[in-house]
Amino acid sequence: MGQVAFDTQEFVEMLENAGLPKDQARAISIAVRKSHEVADVATRRDLEDARKDLSAKIVEARKDTVAQFEKTDAKFAEVKRDIAEVRKDLAFEIADARKEAAARADRTNAEITGVRKDMAALFEKNEAQIALLRREQSADIALVRKDMEALTNGLLIKLTKVMLGCVGLASAIVTIAVKFF
């Protein structure tokens, strides 16, 4: 940085005019000059140079920032494109999966309908067989009843004959017994 211009002679004269002795005025002037030398005070030119440097650096930083933002925007755009592509792919895959699931559901429903038809046919067949067996069984039971009635009637007739024979025998025994006794 540059030095601030300091006129020691003018300063000494000013102090002398104020009533200070010449030796004291010189000593104060030297002290002030040394303090200016030690103090790193910026001049207007130094400030202007620093402002220009800072302005240039700010412009450069802005350019860098704009470039970074452009790169970031480009990356965001690329990511958005990738996401859009993934969404499209997923949409197609989901649509395919839905079609496949619908086709499987249709096949399953068709199989279930077929099984239900088969079961209904089997139930009808079983019910028809059960009805036939019941009719046959009823016919067999009716025949067995007729046979049992015929047997019962035959046994009843035979039992009646045996009882009549026993009664006749008993009466003959009683008649003989009465005659002999």
Q: What pLDDT does residue 34 have? A: 79
- Give dist(CA 181, CA 175) in Å, integer: 10
What pLDDT was estimated at residue 10?
86
Query: What average pLDDT does the chain have?
Result: 90
pTM of the complete model = 0.39
Does residue 8 belong to any structural domain of this protein? no
- Residue 1 inside a domain? The answer is no
13 burial via Cβ count (<10 Å: 0-12, 13-18, 19+): middle
| Stronger pLDDT, 118 or 29, i.e. the higher one | 118
Tokens in use for 18?
């104020």
pLDDT band at 20; cut points 50, 70, 90: confident
Structural domain includes residue 170: yes
- Say what the pLDDT of residue 4 is: 56
Domain membership of residue 160 as a residue range? 42-132+138-143+145-180
Give domain status of residue 25, yes or no.
no
The answer to whether the beta carbons of residues 8 and 50 sit under 8 Å apart is no
User: Please, are residues 2 and 46 in contact by the beta-carbon 8 Å criterion?
Assistant: yes
Give tens-digit pLDDT for 27-82. Answer: 888 888 877 666 566 778 888 988 999 999 999 999 999 999 999 999 999 999 99
**What pLDDT, on the 0 to 100 scale, is given for residue 40?**
64
**Number of C-beta neighbours around residue 177 at 10 A:** 9
**pLDDT value of position 32:** 80
Residue 20 lies in a domain: no
Q: Which of 46 and 115 is assigned the larger pLDDT? A: 115
At 138-150, the pLDDT tens digits run: 999 999 999 999 9
Cα separation of 53 and 12, whole Å? 38
Domain count, the chain: 1
